[in-house]
Structure 1
Amino acid sequence: MKRPIFRRLLAVTGSMTLGLMGAVALGSPAQAHHTTITGVAECTPNEWVITWTVENWETTMTAKIDVTADPNTAITNIVDGATLPGSTQVKGGWNYGKLVGEQRVPLSKRNAELTVKGKWTNGNTQTNKGSVQLDANDCGEHKVEIKGAAKCDQETGNWKVSWTVTNKHFRDEATASIITQNGPDNEKSAIKKANGQWVTLANENVIVGLKDGDKIAGGAAKSATQTVEGSALAARLKVELEWSRDRYRTKTEAVVQTVNFDGACVKNTPKPSVVFASDCTGLVTVTLMNAKDATKPATFVVNGAGGWTSGPVEVLANGSVALTVPKDAASSITVLESGNAVKDGTYSWKDATDCHPVEITSDQTCDKLTVTIKNPAGGASATVVLTPVAGSAPAATEKDVKALSSDAVTKTVAPGTTETVEFEVGENGLVVHVAVNDAQRGSITWTQPAGCEPIGGEVVDTCDGLVFDLKNPQDGSKADLVLTPSKGEAVSFTLNPGDAKKVEFKADKELTVKVTLNGKVVDEIVWEKPENCATPSPSPSAPPTLPQTGTNVTIFVISGLLLVAVGFAVFMLARRRRLNMTEV
């Protein structure tokens, strides 16, 4: 019978089935312990930013993790030794425990991998790997961006245009070309002139900092500048970028950007001027000026003879600065502004006839006014008209003067000569009006000098000489007198107001006394001997008589009468003169 064989087959089959079921039962726990790793990459201008997520499996157990990253750059949160949270069971499924971290990777990388080894609390371990492709096609756009701005450079009067050309693809390098006269289309790099016409740039050389063939890295920008005349209205720049990568086809894009200028750019400019003024001493005043509408301070330098210099002098708009050049340097003066000669900016001091005006002086005595006209040697010939007017009438013009008097004296005075004119002073005083070369120079008013007041008193001729009996009135002036006789010593004295003085000079046949008042001889007195000044002869002696007794009254009476008679005779014989001295 074949029944035993069938049984054996059933036994073998059952054994194999039981073995397989045991193997599966033993292997299932190990396969259940695992992590799920996913990544999402974002391209930025400078790098890739990858967000990694590590998830636990369907278990409430936590796990310690070890991490290996390629590229090996830091990842936030997902680090060696970190704890992966356990999952929680919810109705209908699981809420997986997870860790989320961020990694930054260079743009040059093509992919990134993250390997995580987990060890769960039951001792089971499992290593899992996740990766993400870094596709350059997702890293920005193959586009070019141009930005421009203009600023007026007031130092030069030109527009300074700043250009920025940006490669908008964050990874792929681009090659730049400036589209100018040789470009492929009509809208090229150009300048809009003041007349409104666009003039295409002859070549890219006017763009400083960017030229054909320049490389612009992914996400990078290239800066350039352009100088445009201040009268222009606008500037236009056209740039083409070309990208080539691996087996991909070449890509290009061209962009045009226009910068319109705000008005005209005018160079900051000073507006210098200078004025010279000198005096007769040789000093020169230099006034440096900068006009009100100047747009820049003026920097002057004043140079003089002998190496003299002022050094830099800054003058603001609508300002002025005055400085003095000394006499030694004034013969040759030059004014510069920022190194350039200033219009009418040279000067040389020279002696002028105006520096030697006619000098008019006067001398006044008690009865005269003397005018002295002195023309210095360096002056010019001058015509001087002196018009005397009695009294003190004012006169503002030459016409007024002529109306007051017709006694004008005209003198033409050559340089280096002197003229003198003398005028008599009347009882009403005197004013002399002066005109030099037809220009009124004021007037000279006679003023009585001190000492012209009369000295009171008298001079008496006596039989013996001259007697001066002098008195200075209370309202007089101080008087210095010198009486000088023809023989003998002079007598000097001072009479103050209210003083009196008596001086007697003896005569010897002749006598003359010269009177000097305040330094001037004012009179000369000649002695005239009075009549009947002869000496009487002696009376004859009385004859002798007998002695008498008692008092002889007759003798006393006769003697008294004789004395009275003699006194009367002397009084009648003497000549008297009053003195009225005045300085003339």
Structure 2
Amino acid sequence: MIRPKLSLRRPLAVLGAALIGLTGAVAVAAPASAHHTTITATADCDRLTGERVITWKVENSETNKDATLQKVTAGPGTPVNVPVQGAAAVDLQGYVIPEAASVVAVQRVPGDTATATLEVYAEWLVDNKVTAEHTDKGDINLAADKSCAPTPECVDASQAKYSHTFDGPKGTATVKLDGELPLCGEGKQWFTLVSYFAPRPQFATPQYVYGTPDSDWIGGTQTEIELNVEIPNCHTQVDLIWGDAEQVIDPLVEGGKRYGDKKLGSPGAPGNRSTGPQGWYNGGDKSCTTPATTFASNCDGSVAVSLTNDGKTSKYPVEFEVKGENGFSKKVSVEAGKADTSVVVPAADAGKIEVLVDGKVIEKGTYSWQRPEDCPLPAVTTEADCKNFTLTVTNPEGGLPVKATFTYGDKTETRTVAAGASAKVTFKAGKAKSALVALPELDLEMEAVYTPEKDCGGSGGGGDEPGLPVTGAAAGGIAAGAVALLIAGAVLFVIARRRRVTFTA
């Protein structure tokens, strides 16, 4: 009677393709009785699974009787099955071997099995009665061959090893799957390259991601990847990490998360599953800030200093120091993306002004006061009679003190006129027909013609001395001229720079 059992793990066709190498022959205990079975065996290695595949052959000694295998004992005790073409394999136990025939059965055992045995108890029947019975045993020595180990077709993603290259200053990296086998199935492993703005060329926080991190994966037929990121033109950190872009930390802050052993080339897992240089870099020779300044001169001699920190690489506060040549000093911290216009260097402390960051004068950070073109200029008025010639300089409010030099004949007087004040100088009328008023700090000089307000009767100032020719206008006209001079003073001085302007009193 044949009793069906579970099928073999693979059809014979697959088995034949996977099996390599004959391992040995069976040793058989030869029976003394006429009725017996003969057991032989061969073994192969299934490189796909790493198992030994033993093929047992059991022969019926009788030419006129069937042998029924009533009991089959195998060691190791794995199933021994008879392959059936086009159907499920059946258990060797209970199998009936026709007269003068044999049966082939297959047993799979671990690849490191040293010895396998098969013991068969058979009965021979005539008219359904047992006429003979016998137990036979066969064994096969597997120790002579090398152990049978599987030859995998792929590597599990959790066990895969990699190698990498890394160039932090250039922002480039490569990652390659080691070995010849691809990752199994749909397995993928992601890697990411990321660059940061950094406050210093050594590790420091906070750090902010620069540009877009580059992520790619290894899996299937893709066994090598290249990663590239932009590097800021300032202090930076570049990291090659295990995982996709979701693993990126932004920002990196004091006391916050760190990549740790996720960086490739780290001593611990998973970073140590890739061999190569350390996958992190700190450097850069410029600060990730954009300090800038502008200056504006005021008419009173002071200078307004504007400080900005809003350039493309401005990611951190900047502490500015504004220094005046005459002792002025003030420090101002400006946040990234902000500006400060609160610094005004007084006229008395200005001189040469410098703006410094980290003890160094920044680009375009030096300035000296320059008189604004729209500042009101001093005005000059005159009064004259037969005895005296008076000149007055009036300095508008909101400006600087101005030095004025008055010259008439061989007499010279100098005055310093404060802003919002006037200075008057009176000369005794003499033979000189004009006076000079010079404002050397403004590079201006004017000539005032002596014209008395009335006819001095042929005798000028100085009593009995002859008077100056009458060249002036009536008193009303002189007053009107004075007012006009006050109004047009600024124009007169603008056009009089480096040349002399003559007008009558």
Whether the TM-score (by the shorter chain) exceeds 0.5 is no
> Higher RCO, 1 or 2 (CA under 8 Å, sep at least 6)?
2
Larger Rg: 1
With normalisation by structure 2, the TM-score equals: 0.28
With normalisation by structure 1, the TM-score equals: 0.25
Please identify which structure carries the higher helix content. Answer: 1
